[in-house]
Amino acid sequence: MITLDRVRLLVPENKVPEVNENDFDTFSNKITVKKEILKNIVGVREITYINNSFLLDVSGKITADKGNLGLIHKNNVKEVFEKIDDTGILRFNSSPVEASQVLYLDVTKDVEVENPLETLTAIELLATQRKHKNKILDYKNSGLIIKPHAKSVSDSLAIYLKYKEIIQNKSPKNRLYIEKIGIETIEKIKKTVRLERHLGTFKDIRKAFKTNSKKIRLKEILHSKKNPVKDKFCEITSSNEYDWFTVGKEVF
Amino acid sequence: MKIQKFLKKVGMRAILTNFDDDVKVIRKMLKIECEFSSPSTLNTVIATFKEELKEKISENRNFFRYQKIVQDLIKKIGE
């Protein structure tokens, strides 16, 4: 099942009959919800009115609960919009899942492993084989991020320790998040490695989900049978069997 | 002296990766690190340094553990 840690969406304004205008401000020519309001709402990063649509930047944390770190998937996506509705900033007249267009995605998998640090080392070492295609950089929380050298491609894979991310973030919003999931949950995820495929352009999203849709809808993404995290992971850690240099005459 | 530089790198990093007494990965690494122009040049180089390379392979068996870790991870990501 596709699970998302973060998604940027465009919801058409006809899905939003009511708006609390007092919550909005004009900032850098954008009509956007005030930061002081968003800092108290776990899981909502941005709400902006733009081109007759509302841009929603939402994190899976919006669905977090006791024992649940929170990721967005097809079974809880309605709840995501209900929770945004509950903030009082916007009111939806029906679920906007079908009408919402995707702009950016973090497709995410949490995996429990025996030894998280050794797992990161193993990935890094195997990924070095493909370093002519990708660069391997340090990422937050003892993690690594594997990015293509090509600047035109916005498709990367981040691998890090979720446990560290939660305990090292000292922001008030993160404290609210810890209250939601419960301190005991943090203990339980000490062996969890998070893998996130960051897809930043329509082209990258289409390629990862093998779709030709002109407008990529949230519903299509959440119901996809593809596994973009696994595909990317295999790509960066596997050698190319068909490389003409490797199929030549063996000399050992 | 590119090959000497490569062997130093092999010692530190590449040998830890995908080795199974199989020359394929060494060929790949040589290609990437030393930018050989053709497979025949590469064959000559491997033949010249084969004892040194074999020795380095046998020195380090961590790779098999790392490979198993990554294979297990792929299975879990697919679940």
Is A109 in CB contact (< 8 Å) with chain B? yes
Q: Can you tell me the distance from the alpha carbon of A50 to that of A141, in angstroms, rounded to the nearest whole number?
A: 34
CB-nearest partner of A111 from B28, B63, B76: B76
Q: Chain B: nearest CA to A173, how far in angstroms? A: 29
Among residues of chain B, what percentage have pLDDT more than 90? 5
Taking Cα atoms as reference points, which of A59, A76, A82 lies closest to residue A4?
A59
Sequential pLDDT tens for chain A (252 residues): 999 999 999 999 999 999 999 999 987 778 999 988 998 899 999 999 998 899 999 999 999 999 999 999 999 999 999 999 999 999 998 889 889 999 999 999 999 999 998 899 888 877 876 666 788 888 887 789 999 888 777 899 999 998 888 988 888 889 999 999 998 999 899 999 999 999 999 999 999 999 999 899 999 999 999 999 999 998 888 744 333 333 333 333
**What is the tens place of the pLDDT at every residue in B15-48?**
444 444 455 666 666 666 666 666 676 677 667 6
Taking Cα atoms as reference points, which of A7, A57, A15 lies closest to residue A32?
A57
Q: Chain B: nearest CA to A157, how far in angstroms? A: 13
CB-nearest partner of B43 from A129, A193, A248: A248
B-chain residues near A122 (CB < 8 A)? 65-67, 69-70
User: Which residues on adjacent β-strands are paired with residue A54?
Assistant: A11, A49
The more confident residue out of A236 and B7 is: A236
pLDDT of A103 reads 95
Residue A113 and residue B69: Cβ atoms within 8 Å?
Answer: yes
Please, which residues have CB within 8 angstroms of residue A78's CB and are 6 or more apart in sequence? A95, A97
Q: Which residue of B has its CA nearest to A159?
A: B73
Average pLDDT over residues B49-68: 64
For residue A237 the two structure tokens come to 């850690």
Q: Which residue of B has its CA nearest to A122?
A: B66
Residue B42 and residue A234: Cβ atoms within 8 Å?
Answer: no
The more confident residue out of B57 and A228 is: A228
Q: Can you tell me the distance from the alpha carbon of A242 to that of A11, in angstroms, rounded to the nearest whole number?
A: 44
Q: Can you tell me the distance from the alpha carbon of B37 to that of A211, in angstroms, rounded to the nearest whole number?
A: 38
pLDDT of A245 reads 37
DSSP string, A30-82: EEEE-HHHHTTSTTEEEEEEETTEEEEEEEGGGG-BTTB---B-TTTHHHHHH
Is A230 in CB contact (< 8 Å) with chain B? yes
**What's the CA angle centered on B75, arms B69 and B76, to 5 degrees?**
90
Is A1 in CB contact (< 8 Å) with chain B? no
